A and B are shown apart, each in its own frame.
Chain A
């Protein structure tokens, strides 16, 4: 298999994620786009691991990235729920102040 194939797929997925982060308004959909970007990074790691026949270093790093993504989405959704409780919406454009609404 040519190495360019997984790398180009990773590029496309990453750019779809960038578009989602920039164009979406709902914070939860932005977090979904972050997940797509992290997946692109994982794909790169696994592809390069298959290319340099090594002792699965890239796959180990991919597992670490998956764990980090789980931690990130957990904290991110907690913050989103806090935003919803304070302001009553999850709109990233409308959330202009950092203080909690009373």
Chain B
């Protein structure tokens, strides 16, 4: 049962992510990303990791895709199909990706070909909360500092250019 669920979700994830990287309409690519990430969340659910699946939907689909759409809006991304969205070296990129998939896939099959996943793992919020606050407290705190740093960095990046522009225009006025 879980295997069937997982297979359906993985087919959806693969198809949606292929569309994400080959679509010529950039907004469509962002919207297909929603489907791809949602299908990966379904895969987490089939692996009994329900808390990770919910966090995936909350953070990825709820926040990251919205951020990407905002960025597309702010950079005036056109909604019509753009043939130049993919570079001329895309066949080379496809070869690199295919070779990498071949190597990694062979390694994975050789190493873990006969292993089975037992469908009794526990992925509830209680387990993960206990784990975080018992064994992973220091990484958790470091991660919160990292988030703060990312926040301040993003604000500083957007502020700096404003003040730089302002000082530029002020200088220009002075020169005039």
Contact = CB atoms under 8 A, between A and B. Distances in A.
Contacts of A12: 14, 101
Nearest to B165: A85
Interface string A33-47: 101100100110011
Contacts of B72: 28
Contacts, number: 258
Contact of B109 (A4, A69, A71): A4
Given A1-B116, A32-B29, A22 B89 contact: yes
Given A16-B97, A82-B157, A2 B14 contact: no
B123 A56 contact: yes
Nearest to B82: A26
Interface size class of B (residues with CB under 8 A): 35 or more
Given A66-B60, A80-B71, A56 B122 contact: yes
B86 A60 contact: no
A84 B78 CA distance: 14
Given A5-B6, A46-B47, A78-B154, A29 B94 contact: no
Contacts of A78: 153-154, 157-158
Interface in A1-18: 1-9, 11-18
Interface string B3-40: 10011001001100110110000100110010011001
Helix, strand, loop or mixed for chain B's interface?
helix
B45 to A, nearest CB: 10
A19 to B, nearest CB: 4
A11 B3 contact: no
9 contacts: A2-B117, A6-B10, A25-B84, A28-B77, A56-B121, A59-B52, A59-B128, A66-B60, A100-B161
Given A53-B121, A100-B164, 19 more contacts: A3-B112, A4-B113, A5-B6, A6-B6, A11-B101, A14-B100, A15-B100, A17-B17, A25-B87, A39-B36, A43-B43, A50-B48, A56-B128, A60-B128, A66-B59, A70-B64, A70-B147, A82-B161, A84-B75
Q: Which 6 A-B residue pairs are closest in the complex by CB-CB distance?
A: A22-B93, A20-B21, A71-B150, A19-B97, A23-B90, A23-B93
